[in-house]
Amino acid sequence: MNLVEIKGLKVSFRQHGGEVEAVRGIDLSLKDGESLGIVGESGSGKSVTCLALMRLLANTATVTADKLELSGIDVLKANNRKMASIRGSSAAMIFQDPATAFDPVFTIGHQMVETIQTHRGLSKKVAMAEAEQLLLKVEIKNAKDVLAYYPHQLSGGMLQRAMIAMALSCRPKVLIADEPTTALDVTIQAQILQLIKGLQAEMGMALIMITHDLGVIAETVDRVVVMYGGKVMEEGPVEQIFDSPKHSYTQSLLASLRAGETRRIDPVAPEPVAPALELKNLGKIYKLRRRGRILSTYTDFSAVRGVNLVLPRNKIVGLVGESGSGKSTTGMMAMRLLEPTTGRIVVDGADVSDLGIEALKPYRKSMQVIFQDSYSALDPMMTLSQIIAEPLDIHQIGTSRERLEKALGWLERVGLDRNFGTRYPHELSGGQRQRVAIARALILGPKVLVADEPTSALDVTVKAQIIGLLKDLQTQMGLSMLFISHDLSVVRSLTDTVVVMYKGRVVEQAPTGAIFANPRHPYTRALLDAIPVTNPRDRRIRTFLQQSDIDKATPHFVVAELPGFVQPAPEPQLVAVAPGHLVEAVVTR
């Protein structure tokens, strides 16, 4: 008997008087101990399918199926008590954002104990001891303390571990993981995936891994179901899907995944003219307010410390790091959208660091920016043509007719139809909005473009298209681009040079090829290790560096080892280890 048996499942939602079909007749089955991946982009129905299996959909949903069984129980017919008893014990779930999946007003311990008690009727004391064991099992070292913590006191990665521990507490036959790593930092993502995979093998559970990321699939599962528009496009063993995808949608997914592997060939040409953008010793200090007993004290927090960065003409430089590394702050300072505490910004040979709003205005034409959230980047009250033409309005270029014509021209240039000009942003998809944002940023013909995570809010296939568009426009216009991202696979396909930031500092900088082939800084290595494989055959057990390990593992050099002259110092400094390859290291005599 199969653990999960789904036949002809259809789910639709009532919405504003209409019916929206989310799942349109899918078949799915899962055996004991098997691991299944469901992959698809947002709106493909992958999460809805699993929520229907657990009967957790809102009552605006209509669910019909020829067969919908979870460990032999008919989910459509079971009464509420029966359903409650199989949830958690037959199938447990973990969710995308652990910060919102815990009840904020109860401790972790309380929430774990109540789960254990509901299903296994243990005494509170025994349940608490069991909870502690489970936390240790998910590699939380201070398990006893964590039991007394409230959710807001833990980091996202720790919370997701606790969530997994809680899901395991009733020994479920199948663990359903709904995008379990999407809300986490890159380095944490890989650790969580490895943990899930290990626990699954150890406890002999079945696993359903729901994700939009084929890399996650390649890392974790044996069998794959590809969904699109509420239907199953393709199904098969993971190797077969990766080696010989039959359906064109799967092919395009794989193409976007592997786009990262084909590297640009960088013509190494000497650089006689001034670089397009130069950041010199750029730093940003925030005053943090700490509530004291009586008075508040202020401490300085350096978001960015002494960043030096050169963006050569007609090149793309990737700025990489996890959230909080200071990469976006650096980008915003480079655009003079945030005042730096120290340092100079030189655009095209001109120092713009101290210019006021008016004096800066002419330079603004040559420096532009694209943001991550395309929804907030477009004024909802303006039409697309107004949005795209706004830079021309601000700089008083051309007549209003010429401006409109130029805006419509750009609309076509970024791959949208001219008649979109009268539409409003809310009528567009995320990818389309990002296209409009690109058109608006480029209409003035800037020399420098800062792209702040422009693709991280987009679906995989759309992401590849936007990257392609940026690449094309960069070559056509001779743009110099600073591409800020946490996603190394994107950076690999797009950039000439990569700059890695960690805790506000540049820790490594090298040509893209060199950084992927020969990373020197431990943090860079941790980042590279965290990239999911693009082929299931490449799976491996990884070791992860804790943050303290990274700090300890800062490279050490003796002066004699390094080319050129370097002053020894107790503090880490950026040193050249190869032409164009800088790494932060402690240099001793």
Partner 1 sequence: MSTQIDADATTLAAPPATKQRSPAYFAWRRFTANKAAVVGGAVLGIIVLMAILAPLFTKTDPTAQAYLTQSLAFPSAEFWFGVDDLGRDFFTRVVYGARVSLSIGFAAASFSLLIGIPVGAIAGYFGGRIDWFIMRVIEIFSVVPSLLAAMLLGALTGGGYVTIVIIAAAFGWFGVCLLVRAQVKSFREKDFVRSAQALGASPWYILRRHVIPNSLSPIIVGFVLAMPGAMMLEASLSFLGIGVAPPTPSWGQMINVGINFMFFYWHMAVFPTAALAITVLATTLFGDGLRDALDPTLKGR
Partner 2 sequence: MIIYLIKRLLSIALTFFIVSLLVFLMMHAVPGGPFTEKDMPLSAEVKAALNARLGLDKPLWVQYVNYMAGVLQGNWGVPYQSPGETVISLLRQAWIPSLILGGSGVIIGAILGILIGMAAALKRNTWIDYLASALSVLGLTIPVFVISMMLILIFAVWLGWLPASGWGKPERWILPIAAYAAIPLATYARYTRSAMLDTLNRPFVTALRAKGLSEGRIIFQHVLRNSAIPMVTVFLPMFIGTATGSIFVEAMFRIPGLGSYFVSSIENRDYPLEMALVLMVTIGICFAYLISDIAYAWLNPRIRLGDDTQ
Among 80, 262, 399, 543, binds partner 2 (CB under 8 A): 80
Q: Binding to partner 2 by residue 301, rule CB under 8 A?
A: no
DSSP helix/strand/coil, 376 = helix
The percent helix, strand, coil of the chain (3-state, each to 5) is: 40, 30, 35
Distance CA 199, CA 165 (A): 10
Q: Binding to partner 1 by residue 131, rule CB under 8 A?
A: no
**What tokens appear for 286 in the block?**
């925030």
Q: Which does 73 bind (CB under 5 to 8 A by kind): partner 1, partner 2, none?
A: none
Distance CA 382, CA 322 (A): 34
Nearest to partner 2 of 30, 163 (CB atom) = 163
Shortest distance (Å) from residue 92 CB to partner 2: 7
Distance CA 511, CA 519 (A): 11
Among 28, 101, 369, 498, binds partner 2 (CB under 8 A): 101
Q: Binding to partner 1 by residue 441, rule CB under 8 A?
A: yes
Q: Binding to partner 2 by residue 95, rule CB under 8 A?
A: yes
One-letter amino acid for residue 338 of the chain: L
Shortest distance (Å) from residue 51 CB to partner 2: 8
Shortest distance (Å) from residue 389 CB to partner 2: 39
Nearest to partner 2 of 84, 457 (CB atom) = 84
Eight-state DSSP code of residue 263: P
CA torsion sign for 151, 39, 228, 492 is: positive
Among 142, 153, 475, 476, binds partner 2 (CB under 8 A): 153
Distance CA 466, CA 429 (A): 13
**What tokens appear for 255 in the block?**
């193409």
CB-based contacts of 219, cutoff 8 Å, min separation 6: 190, 193, 194, 197, 532, 533, 536, 539
Q: Binding to partner 2 by residue 114, rule CB under 8 A?
A: yes
Distance CA 230, CA 359 (A): 54
Q: Binding to partner 1 by residue 513, rule CB under 8 A?
A: no
Q: Which stretch binds partner 1 (CB under 8 A): 201-209, 282-290, 411-419, 563-571?
A: 411-419
Shortest distance (Å) from residue 166 CB to partner 1: 30
Distance CA 282, CA 334 (A): 9
Q: Build a one-symbol-per-residue string for 452-491: x at contacts with partner 1 by CB under 8 A, - elsewhere.
A: ---------xx--x--xx--x-------------------
Q: Which does 390 bind (CB under 5 to 8 A by kind): partner 2, partner 1, none?
A: partner 1
State which of positions 366-395 bind partner 1 (CB under 8 A): 367-369, 371, 373, 376-381, 390-391, 394-395
Q: Binding to partner 2 by residue 155, rule CB under 8 A?
A: no
Distance CA 132, CA 111 (A): 12
Q: Binding to partner 2 by residue 54, rule CB under 8 A?
A: yes
Distance CA 181, CA 188 (A): 8
Shortest distance (Å) from residue 165 CB to partner 2: 12
Distance CA 338, CA 332 (A): 6
One-letter amino acid for residue 548 of the chain: S
Q: Which does 100 bind (CB under 5 to 8 A by kind): partner 1, partner 2, none?
A: partner 2
State which of positions 3-42 bind partner 1 (CB under 8 A): 16
Q: Which stretch binds partner 2 (CB under 8 A): 90-98, 216-224, 240-248, 258-266?
A: 90-98
Q: Binding to partner 2 by residue 265, rule CB under 8 A?
A: no
DSSP helix/strand/coil, 425 = helix
Decide: 318 and 488 in contact? Cβ < 8 Å.
no
Nearest to partner 2 of 149, 544 (CB atom) = 149
Nearest to partner 1 of 69, 459 (CB atom) = 459
Q: Binding to partner 1 by residue 264, rule CB under 8 A?
A: no
Eight-state DSSP code of residue 266: P
- Which one, of 521, 497, 519, lies nearest residue 507 by Cα? 521
CA angle 43, 47, 51 (to 5 degrees): 135
Measured between its terminal Cα atoms, the distance across the chain in Å is: 69
237-260: string of b/e by CB count within 10 Å (b at 16+)? ebeebbeebeeebbebbbebbbbb
Q: Which stretch binds partner 1 (CB under 8 A): 30-38, 261-269, 408-416, 561-569?
A: 408-416
Q: Binding to partner 1 by residue 422, rule CB under 8 A?
A: yes
Distance CA 221, CA 197 (A): 8
Q: Which does 437 bind (CB under 5 to 8 A by kind): partner 2, partner 1, none?
A: partner 1
Decide: 186 and 322 in contact? Cβ < 8 Å.
yes
State which of positions 398-417 bind partner 2 (CB under 8 A): none
Q: Binding to partner 1 by residue 432, rule CB under 8 A?
A: yes
Distance CA 416, CA 548 (A): 48
In degrees and rounded to multiples of 5, residue 340 shows phi and psi of: -70, 150
Beta bridge partners of 223: 36, 237
Q: Binding to partner 2 by residue 286, rule CB under 8 A?
A: no
Residues that bind partner 2 in the complex, under the rule CB under 8 A: 51, 54, 56, 80-81, 84-89, 92-93, 95, 97, 100-106, 114-115, 118-119, 150, 152-153, 163, 166, 170, 289-291, 293-294
Residues that bind partner 1 in the complex, under the rule CB under 8 A: 16, 332, 335, 337, 357-358, 360-362, 364-365, 367-369, 371, 373, 376-381, 390-391, 394-395, 413, 415-417, 422-424, 426-429, 431-432, 435, 437, 440-441, 444, 461-462, 465, 468-469, 472
